[in-house]
Amino acid sequence: MQGPDKGEAGKKGMRLTDKIVSLIQKLYSLPDQVSEDRYVKLRRNMAVLMFLVTAVPLSVMLIINHHQYQSALRSEAVTQFRVLENKAKHSFELFLQERLSTVKYIANAYSIEQLAQDGELKNIFYTIQQNFSGFVDLGLINPDGIQVNYVGPYDLEGKDYSGTSSYQEVRIKGTYISDVFLGYRRFPHLIVAVERRDPSGKNWVVRASIDIDTFNDIIASMGLEADSDAFLLNRQGIIQTPSKFYGQVLDECPIELPPKTFQPTVIEMTDPEGRDIFLSYVYFSKQEFVLFLVKERSLLLRSWYALKGQMLVVFSLSMVLIAFIIFRLTGLMVRRIKQADERREAAYRELEHNQKLSSIGQMAAGVAHEINNPLAIINEKAGLMQDLLKGAEDFARKDKFLGLVQSIIKSVDRARGITYRLLGFARRLETHYEVLEVNNVLREVLGFLEKEAEERNVSIHLEFSEDLPKIHSDQGQLEQVFLNLMSNALAAVQDHQGQIQIRTWQINEQTVCVSIDDNGCGMDNETLRHIFEPFFTTKKGYGTGLGLSITYGIIKKLGGDIKVASEKNVGTTFTIYLPVKEGTEKGTA
Ligand code: ADP
């Protein structure tokens, strides 16, 4: 069973996840309307998501690799350091052990009497000097601690060592290797002494000084880089061989001695001079020395820093490249989405428009049909009345009557014209296809309007393509279309400065185009949205609002298309696309 605490924690968890989800939803929500803002947000969301999906795994990989490389390179460097130190330690130990064994051999192979002879000791000394490097002098100390014989550069014969700690130590331990010290000639050396224990009870000591130049040779043979330091210390922390960083022989080393260990050990530390260093150290097991190997951390990890720099450059370049690609890709995708949305919207609007046209068309056709019959009767009766009046004798106000009857007949004509147009709009008119030249149709229609254009001083400029192919279409209906568009253009332009341009051209093998361009009043967006709707007109009082809807219906029926571009107070261009071959109706309900 779940305890109350667990239940509370679970609820809190749920609340947190809900909050995160709602935050993401908020961030990723898009405005419902198809607006610029929607696409900007969509692009931003896509870009952020794509960037996260690519950048996060790359960054995680970089961090993991960073740690792995760092630890691998560090352990490689540290291992090299340890191996080097181990080798150097063995060389030192070997050197000292060899010198000790040599002195041991002299003490054990010769009697005190032999060693006490001047010539004999000299012989032995020269022999060992030839075979082993580093020996500076050789002396024999008798059981009373007095150096009774001595071969070497100093005058040490007769010197009493009985009170010295080195003599005491050799008497206790049997062998002795001193720390480094500066002798009379002020050059650093150390002492190796061995006690010979004679069965007669007389014990004597053979003592030799060793020059530590060989130590420097061993350090040099380690092949350290110029920026590394290696030196020996005694167990009191006194420097025994010159150090590059921490002083000369017999100076106190500023680094405190680390805990004793006979295996090379590497520690990272900051030295008293503030350098970040790797210190590898090892205690000698048989002698009282400690070997220090020092290298600045930055130098030891130089290759790591170089690699790290390269990794960062590659990472940054990849990020820039990814960001660039995402930027371009999201731009392209959002553009495509926007185009698809616009196409869908246009298709939807056209469908809606066509449905509207279709239903209004049906209604209009019905009304026109119904009105046509009474109109025919009125026309007939009015004609009869006119004939009767004409044949009758003169009577008062006969002319007035005749005038009234004529105006009835005129109005009926006008009403018939409207019903005829209504029927045309409703596509009751049959389409008669024939082969025709669009340029000729346009010229014929122009013939109707030329007079008006001339009177109003409106210039009509023609730019007809001469090699326009003949098309299969309905001459009468095309005439109606051109007449509507040209009449509108004429109505839109001002007297004296109006200009209308009519162009024809072929855009591909299947389509020819006609454009009618005017510099008239133009239309605002609101008007543009409604112009193809039946009964929409801005010409209050004299416009029927049927011209463009009929035009639209005819063009669609003939398998073509019509486009309009207009700017308020600048002008309007209607472009008609007509199929060369007999067209089939497109996109109409
Ligand atoms: P009507 O001409 O009877 O008003 P139409 O369907 O031919 O009906 O035109 C509808 C409306 O479109 C017009 O009232 C007018 O506002 C606008 N219009 C059409 N052609 C042009 C044009 N060339 N310049 C400016 N407005 C135009």
Q: How far apart are CA 416 and CA 368, in angstroms?
A: 9
Judge contact between 578 and 560, C-beta under 8 A: yes
State how far Cα 358 lies from the chain centre.
53
Q: How far apart are CA 482 and CA 441, in angstroms?
A: 8
Query: How far is ligand 1, taken at its centre, from the CA of residue 531, in Å?
Result: 7
Structure letter (DSSP) for residue 582:
P
Candidates 537, 566, 573, 576: which one to mutate for ligand 1, based on the most atoms within 8 Å of Cβ? 537
Q: How far apart are CA 188 and CA 209, in angstroms?
A: 10
Q: Smallest Cα–Cα separation from 110: which of 122, 126, 121?
A: 121
* Fold that domain 76-300 belongs to in CATH: Beta-Lactamase (3.30.450)
**Contact 492 CB / ligand 1 (< 6 Å):** yes
**Contact 548 CB / ligand 1 (< 6 Å):** yes
Q: How far apart are CA 116 and CA 121, in angstroms?
A: 7
Q: Does domain 434-579 have CATH number 3.40.50.300?
A: no
Chunked into runs of 10 residues, the chain (589 residues) has average pLDDT values of 53 69 66 72 88 89 88 85 88 91 93 89 92 90 91 88 88 90 77 87 89 84 82 92 90 92 90 89 90 85 82 91 93 92 84 72 77 90 91 86 92 83 63 91 90 93 94 90 93 94 94 96 93 86 81 89 95 96 57
* Fold that domain 346-429 belongs to in CATH: Helix Hairpins (1.10.287)
Q: How far apart are CA 538 and CA 472, in angstroms?
A: 34
Query: How far is ligand 1, taken at its centre, from the CA of residue 567, in Å?
Result: 13
For ligand 1, atom 23, name the residue with the nearest CA.
489
State how far Cα 53 lies from the chain centre.
11
Judge contact between 200 and 109, C-beta under 8 A: no
> What pLDDT, on a 0 to 100 scale, did the predictor assign at position 550?
84
Q: Cβ-count burial of 345 within 10 angstroms (0-12 exposed, 13-18 middle, 19+ buried)?
A: exposed
Q: How far apart are CA 459 and CA 495, in angstroms?
A: 10
State how far Cα 522 lies from the chain centre.
47
> What pLDDT, on a 0 to 100 scale, did the predictor assign at position 9?
61
For ligand 1, atom 14, name the residue with the nearest CA.
537
Domain ranges of the chain: 76-300, 346-429, 434-579
| Residue the block writes with tokens 């960001």 | 323
> What pLDDT, on a 0 to 100 scale, did the predictor assign at position 428?
47
Query: How far is ligand 1, taken at its centre, from the CA of residue 533, in Å?
Result: 11
Locate the ligand 1 atom nearest the alpha carbon of residue 545 and give its number.
Answer: 8
Residue 110 gets the label, from left (phi > 0), alpha (psi -120 to 50) or beta, of beta
- The reported pTM is 0.51
Query: How far is ligand 1, taken at its centre, from the CA of residue 158, in Å?
Result: 139
**Contact 209 CB / ligand 1 (< 6 Å):** no
Q: Smallest Cα–Cα separation from 67: which of 251, 255, 298, 307?
A: 307
> What pLDDT, on a 0 to 100 scale, did the predictor assign at position 587?
43
Candidates 360, 488, 564, 576: which one to mutate for ligand 1, based on the most atoms within 8 Å of Cβ? 488
Q: How far apart are CA 205 and CA 207, in angstroms?
A: 6
